[in-house]
A and B are shown apart, each in its own frame.
Chain A
Amino acid sequence: MANKMTKGWFALFTVPLLVIFVTVVIIPFLMGIYYSFFDWDGIGANPMVFVGLENYTQLFSDQRFLDSAWLTVKFTILALISVNILGITFALLVTSALRTVNAARAMLFMPNLIGGLILGYIWQFIFTDAFKIIGESTGFGGVFFNWLLDPDYALYALVFVFTWQMAGYMMIIYIAGIQGISNEIIEAAKIDGASYWQKLRKITLPLLMPSITISMFLTLSFAFKIYDVNLSLTGGGPINSTELFALHIYNEIFGYGNYGFGQAKAVIFFIVVAVVTLTQVYITKKREVEM
């Protein structure tokens, strides 16, 4: 009787969410794997043809897919560097003893709250028109021209905007890390006559390693999955030169109507994201044990 009661309560508390969760996440996930073995154009009346692993083997001869994968890697590496350098710099600036640090912190974080889609449009205006006008009036046409029309610069523009969006977010993580460093060590170094750069290089940065690891992996996973900014800033153009992974998958499925093939790409996407994240968890856990 008591057991039955417990089971009833258990069901009452968990079943509503579980039903939603299973129908929104679990079933579509399994269906997704199933679809990836078929050739289908997404139209219900048309037959789904079982092709086994063909979608997966075909991936490696799909030049657009390989280009997109390479672009995503390139974008991610550039973003990792710029976001984290700026994030650490911001954090160091706003943990100084100045009175304006709170205002600065609030302002530097703000871009992160504006949605990626809207942020991309703001920057689209800056790159297409503001840059052009500034270039013409200042004479620095070498820097201020429309980045979005040049295949190489369009990717840099994407890195630029992504950095603008994410640096404040990583700053928050680094602030927590810096505040965790004990004052005694810093004071001791000061008494020993260490300069600002010596303190930074020998004390602050090494002690920040746990925060750096977290931020690196977070940036990695955000950068790898970028979609909204990509869509609104460049739309993948010019000529597919900035079509990153997530946008590529969307276009393959809903743009070209290759539901099976596109879903195989989506499954590969999941595997890559999962491997990266699990590596992060493994490294973070290992470090916690060591410390």
Chain B
Amino acid sequence: MNISKIIKELLLLLFSLVFLSPVYIMVVNSFKNRQELYENVMALPEQFSLQYYIDAMDKMNFLTALGNSLFITITSVIFIVALSSMTAWMLARTDNKLSKFIFMTFIATMLIPFQTLMMPLMQFMDTISSTLNIQMLNTRGGLIYMHIGFNAGMAVFLYHGFVRSTVPISLEEAATIDGCSKLGLFWKIVFPILKPITVTVIILNVIAIWNDFLLPSLTLTDTALRTIPLSTFYFFGEFTIQWNMAMAGLTLTVIPVVIFYVFAQKHIIKGIGEGAVK
């Protein structure tokens, strides 16, 4: 290995680190006191005080928000995977006008931006709540229900394409002859084959739902129900900004994302690529 190559290697690393410097600035300033922060924002902290983290956790209700975010994201994703894969498989395996129409509707509605739906959606959910007496607004269940609806189109689209191109129909026919019911056939034979695309669907939806702000901000009004983006928003709105505490709060919100990234990096990059190109 020659010198110029080593220099190039180091330059690339340095470049990437400079690109991530906002993350560095966030983390180092979360430990500094006010005076230290204004002396030099780029410097490492002189002492590691966790005080601002303790304050931020308390003011943001961080653990509650983390719990809400985890519960809402995981539950939504489980339902999206189960319902979308079933629907997509059935639509791909029935060749009639109705299934074509349903599939086309799923795809076409992917074009609708959330802003076009948000106001009427809130009105309609309010109507459901008052007429059927099912609380759709200001409940975790209602939010999960809406997440499923909004993300179904993309998931059905991805599963449909995968079933058409990869799942061998002969295998399904063999299982049917062996007396497998449709439900057993799907869950025992088809669903395991769908695994690669399931990983993609999970990744894309975890990222989208975890980071979603606008939908939960419209549906959840109760402080105890806030997700991480919501509690961050109110944290910044309610207090005059003390930057060191604010940076501690932001660092807290980034930690779960980094953990997820470390464990699923390969899948994330692959999933993003697949989701984008289709």
- Residues of A participating in the B interface, judged by any CB pair closer than 8 Å: 6, 9-10, 12-14, 16-18, 20-21, 23-29, 31-32, 34-35, 42, 93-94, 96, 98-101, 103-118, 121-123, 125-126, 129-130, 133-134, 137, 164, 169, 172-173, 176, 214, 218, 225, 227-228, 231-232, 246, 249-250, 253-254, 259, 262-263, 266-267, 269-270, 273-274, 277-278
Contact = CB atoms under 8 A, between A and B. Distances in A.
A31 B120 contact: yes
Interface stretch (B44-52, B141-149, B163-171, B194-202): B141-149
Contacts of A32: 116-117, 119-120
Given A100-B12, A116-B211, A273 B111 contact: yes
B124 A27 contact: yes
Contacts of B152: 17, 20-21, 25
A18 B29 contact: no
A104 B236 contact: no
B191 interface: no
B112 interface: yes
B75 interface: no
Contact of A125 (B123, B146, B247): B247
Contacts, number: 242
B119 A35 contact: yes
B91 A14 contact: yes
Contacts of A172: 269, 272-273, 276
A117 to B, nearest CB: 5
A31 B127 CA distance: 12
Contacts of A10: 90, 94, 99
A237 to B, nearest CB: 14
21 contacts: A13-B182, A14-B102, A17-B87, A24-B148, A28-B121, A93-B12, A98-B5, A107-B16, A107-B17, A113-B207, A113-B261, A115-B253, A117-B233, A121-B250, A129-B41, A130-B41, A225-B113, A254-B119, A269-B116, A270-B116, A273-B113
Contact of A100 (B13, B22, B113, B212): B13
A28 B232 contact: no
Contact of A121 (B106, B232, B269): B232
Given A29-B120, A270-B113, A274-B112, 16 more contacts: A23-B124, A24-B146, A25-B112, A100-B13, A104-B13, A104-B16, A117-B211, A121-B250, A133-B38, A133-B40, A228-B213, A228-B229, A232-B236, A262-B119, A267-B116, A270-B111
Interface string B82-95: 01101101110010
